[in-house]
Protein backbone atom coordinates (compact mmCIF):
# COMPACT_ATOMS: atom_id res chain seq x y z
CA UNK A 1 0.00 0.00 0.00
CA UNK A 2 1.42 3.32 -1.05
CA UNK A 3 0.91 6.39 1.12
CA UNK A 4 -0.28 9.35 -0.92
CA UNK A 5 1.21 12.61 0.24
CA UNK A 6 -1.00 15.63 0.57
CA UNK A 7 0.98 18.48 -0.93
CA UNK A 8 0.76 21.74 0.95
CA UNK A 9 1.12 24.64 -1.46
CA UNK A 10 2.82 27.65 0.08
CA UNK A 11 1.31 30.25 -2.21
CA UNK A 12 0.82 33.12 0.24
CA UNK A 13 3.25 35.15 2.32
CA UNK A 14 2.91 36.66 5.76
CA UNK A 15 4.77 39.70 7.05
CA UNK A 16 4.68 41.17 10.54
CA UNK A 17 6.88 43.06 12.96
CA UNK A 18 8.07 39.67 14.27
CA UNK A 19 9.24 38.33 10.89
CA UNK A 20 12.65 39.12 9.41
CA UNK A 21 11.46 38.04 5.96
CA UNK A 22 8.13 37.14 4.30
CA UNK A 23 6.88 33.77 5.58
CA UNK A 24 5.39 31.50 2.90
CA UNK A 25 2.30 29.60 4.01
CA UNK A 26 -0.75 27.79 2.67
CA UNK A 27 -3.36 30.29 3.91
CA UNK A 28 -6.53 29.45 5.80
CA UNK A 29 -6.02 28.49 9.44
CA UNK A 30 -2.26 28.74 9.01
CA UNK A 31 -2.66 32.45 8.28
CA UNK A 32 -4.83 32.85 11.38
CA UNK A 33 -2.19 31.03 13.45
CA UNK A 34 0.46 33.45 12.17
CA UNK A 35 -1.72 36.46 13.00
CA UNK A 36 -2.30 35.15 16.52
CA UNK A 37 1.42 34.45 16.95
CA UNK A 38 2.21 38.01 15.85
CA UNK A 39 -0.13 39.39 18.50
CA UNK A 40 0.99 36.94 21.21
CA UNK A 41 3.34 38.68 23.66
CA UNK A 42 5.08 35.34 24.34
CA UNK A 43 6.18 35.02 20.70
CA UNK A 44 9.38 36.98 20.18
CA UNK A 45 10.18 36.04 16.58
CA UNK A 46 8.60 34.21 13.64
CA UNK A 47 10.74 32.63 10.93
CA UNK A 48 10.77 30.10 8.13
CA UNK A 49 13.16 27.19 7.69
CA UNK A 50 13.38 25.64 4.23
CA UNK A 51 15.96 22.94 4.98
CA UNK A 52 17.30 21.37 8.15
CA UNK A 53 19.94 18.91 9.20
CA UNK A 54 23.65 18.65 8.47
CA UNK A 55 24.71 20.35 5.23
CA UNK A 56 25.71 17.00 3.73
CA UNK A 57 22.26 15.50 4.38
CA UNK A 58 19.90 18.49 4.46
CA UNK A 59 16.21 17.65 4.42
CA UNK A 60 13.52 19.87 2.86
CA UNK A 61 11.30 20.81 5.80
CA UNK A 62 9.52 24.09 4.89
CA UNK A 63 8.37 24.88 8.44
CA UNK A 64 7.38 28.07 10.24
CA UNK A 65 9.42 28.63 13.39
CA UNK A 66 8.67 30.66 16.51
CA UNK A 67 10.93 31.78 19.32
CA UNK A 68 9.42 32.16 22.79
CA UNK A 69 11.01 32.55 26.23
CA UNK A 70 10.53 28.79 26.77
CA UNK A 71 12.34 27.73 23.59
CA UNK A 72 12.45 27.48 19.81
CA UNK A 73 9.63 25.65 18.05
CA UNK A 74 8.28 24.79 14.65
CA UNK A 75 4.55 25.15 14.12
CA UNK A 76 2.60 21.99 13.47
CA UNK A 77 -0.88 23.21 12.51
CA UNK A 78 -2.89 20.00 12.72
CA UNK A 79 -5.49 20.76 9.98
CA UNK A 80 -2.76 21.96 7.58
CA UNK A 81 -0.23 19.21 8.32
CA UNK A 82 1.07 17.38 5.23
CA UNK A 83 0.59 13.62 5.32
CA UNK A 84 3.89 11.90 6.11
CA UNK A 85 4.90 8.34 6.69
CA UNK A 86 6.37 7.41 10.06
CA UNK A 87 9.85 7.35 8.50
CA UNK A 88 9.32 10.81 6.97
CA UNK A 89 8.11 12.16 10.30
CA UNK A 90 11.15 10.71 12.09
CA UNK A 91 13.49 12.23 9.48
CA UNK A 92 11.77 15.60 9.85
CA UNK A 93 11.95 15.51 13.66
CA UNK A 94 15.61 14.50 13.55
CA UNK A 95 16.55 17.23 11.10
CA UNK A 96 14.69 19.90 13.07
CA UNK A 97 16.21 18.80 16.37
CA UNK A 98 19.67 19.66 14.97
CA UNK A 99 18.41 23.26 14.89
CA UNK A 100 17.14 23.05 18.47
CA UNK A 101 13.51 23.10 17.33
CA UNK A 102 10.73 21.25 19.12
CA UNK A 103 7.27 20.66 17.74
CA UNK A 104 4.49 23.04 18.79
CA UNK A 105 1.23 21.41 17.73
CA UNK A 106 -1.78 23.68 17.44
CA UNK A 107 -5.21 22.18 16.78
CA UNK A 108 -7.70 23.91 14.53
CA UNK A 109 -10.09 24.26 17.48
CA UNK A 110 -7.42 26.18 19.39
CA UNK A 111 -6.89 28.60 16.51
CA UNK A 112 -10.65 29.16 16.15
CA UNK A 113 -11.30 29.51 19.89
CA UNK A 114 -13.20 32.66 20.75
CA UNK A 115 -12.72 35.43 21.53
CA UNK A 116 -9.11 35.33 20.28
CA UNK A 117 -10.01 34.14 16.75
CA UNK A 118 -12.35 37.03 15.94
CA UNK A 119 -10.38 39.56 17.97
CA UNK A 120 -7.07 38.75 16.28
CA UNK A 121 -8.69 39.13 12.86
CA UNK A 122 -10.27 42.45 13.87
CA UNK A 123 -6.97 43.80 15.22
CA UNK A 124 -4.97 42.57 12.23
CA UNK A 125 -7.36 44.30 9.81
CA UNK A 126 -5.95 47.62 11.09
CA UNK A 127 -2.26 46.78 10.73
CA UNK A 128 -1.82 49.34 7.92
CA UNK A 129 -3.42 52.23 9.82
CA UNK A 130 -0.73 54.93 9.86
CA UNK A 131 -0.25 56.36 13.33
CA UNK A 132 1.18 59.88 13.52
CA UNK A 133 4.44 60.04 15.50
CA UNK A 134 2.99 62.31 18.21
CA UNK A 135 -0.04 60.04 18.64
CA UNK A 136 2.24 56.99 18.90
CA UNK A 137 4.40 58.74 21.48
CA UNK A 138 1.38 59.82 23.55
CA UNK A 139 -0.14 56.31 23.61
CA UNK A 140 3.14 54.57 24.48
CA UNK A 141 4.00 57.25 27.06
CA UNK A 142 0.61 56.87 28.75
CA UNK A 143 1.17 53.11 29.09
CA UNK A 144 4.69 53.53 30.45
CA UNK A 145 3.66 56.26 32.91
CA UNK A 146 0.36 54.78 34.10
CA UNK A 147 0.84 51.07 33.44
CA UNK A 148 -1.72 48.76 31.83
CA UNK A 149 -5.08 50.34 30.97
CA UNK A 150 -8.36 49.32 29.44
CA UNK A 151 -9.02 50.48 25.91
CA UNK A 152 -11.60 52.95 27.29
CA UNK A 153 -9.10 54.45 29.77
CA UNK A 154 -6.34 54.73 27.17
CA UNK A 155 -8.61 56.28 24.53
CA UNK A 156 -9.80 58.83 27.13
CA UNK A 157 -6.22 59.64 28.15
CA UNK A 158 -5.08 60.08 24.53
CA UNK A 159 -8.13 61.39 22.66
CA UNK A 160 -6.60 62.30 19.32
CA UNK A 161 -6.22 63.91 16.87
CA UNK A 162 -6.41 60.44 15.25
CA UNK A 163 -8.85 57.76 16.34
CA UNK A 164 -7.02 56.33 19.38
CA UNK A 165 -8.80 52.96 19.10
CA UNK A 166 -7.47 52.37 15.56
CA UNK A 167 -4.05 53.69 16.57
CA UNK A 168 -3.84 51.18 19.44
CA UNK A 169 -4.77 48.30 17.11
CA UNK A 170 -2.11 49.35 14.62
CA UNK A 171 0.54 49.68 17.34
CA UNK A 172 -0.32 46.18 18.58
CA UNK A 173 0.29 44.85 15.05
CA UNK A 174 3.63 46.71 15.03
CA UNK A 175 4.59 44.86 18.26
CA UNK A 176 4.82 48.14 20.18
CA UNK A 177 2.15 47.25 22.73
CA UNK A 178 0.18 44.21 23.90
CA UNK A 179 -3.55 43.56 23.77
CA UNK A 180 -5.35 40.91 25.79
CA UNK A 181 -7.17 39.13 22.97
CA UNK A 182 -7.92 35.92 24.88
CA UNK A 183 -10.08 36.83 27.87
CA UNK A 184 -12.82 38.93 26.25
CA UNK A 185 -13.92 40.29 22.85
CA UNK A 186 -12.23 43.43 21.58
CA UNK A 187 -13.90 46.47 23.12
CA UNK A 188 -13.71 49.16 25.81
CA UNK A 189 -12.64 46.63 28.47
CA UNK A 190 -9.74 45.16 26.46
CA UNK A 191 -6.53 45.51 28.49
CA UNK A 192 -3.58 47.25 26.79
CA UNK A 193 0.01 46.96 28.06
CA UNK A 194 3.34 48.45 27.09
CA UNK A 195 5.90 46.11 25.49
CA UNK A 196 8.77 47.79 27.33
**What digits encode the pLDDT tens for the residues 107-140?**
999 999 999 999 999 999 999 999 999 999 999 9
Where do the domains of the chain lie?
Answer: 12-111, 116-194
Return the higher-pLDDT residue of 166 and 195: 166
> Rounded to the nearest 10 degrees, what angle do helices 164-173 and 116-124 cross at?
100
What mean pLDDT is reported for the chain?
Answer: 91
Question: Alpha-carbon distance 145 to 125, whole Å?
Answer: 28
**E strand or H helix that includes residue 51:** strand 45-52
Determine the 3-state secondary structure of 4 from DSSP. Answer: coil
Please compute, for residue 83, the number of CA atoms within 13 A of its CA located in the half-sphere on the CB side: 6
| pTM, to two decimals | 0.90
CATH class of 116-194: mainly alpha
**What digits encode the pLDDT tens for the residues 20-75?**
999 999 889 999 999 999 999 999 999 999 988 777 778 888 899 999 999 999 99
Amino acid sequence: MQLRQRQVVLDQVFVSAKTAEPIPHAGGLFHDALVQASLDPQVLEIGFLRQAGPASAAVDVAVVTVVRPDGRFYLDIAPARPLRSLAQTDALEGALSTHGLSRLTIAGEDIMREPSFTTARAVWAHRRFVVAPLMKFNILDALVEDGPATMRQLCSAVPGPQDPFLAVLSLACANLLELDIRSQPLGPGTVVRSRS
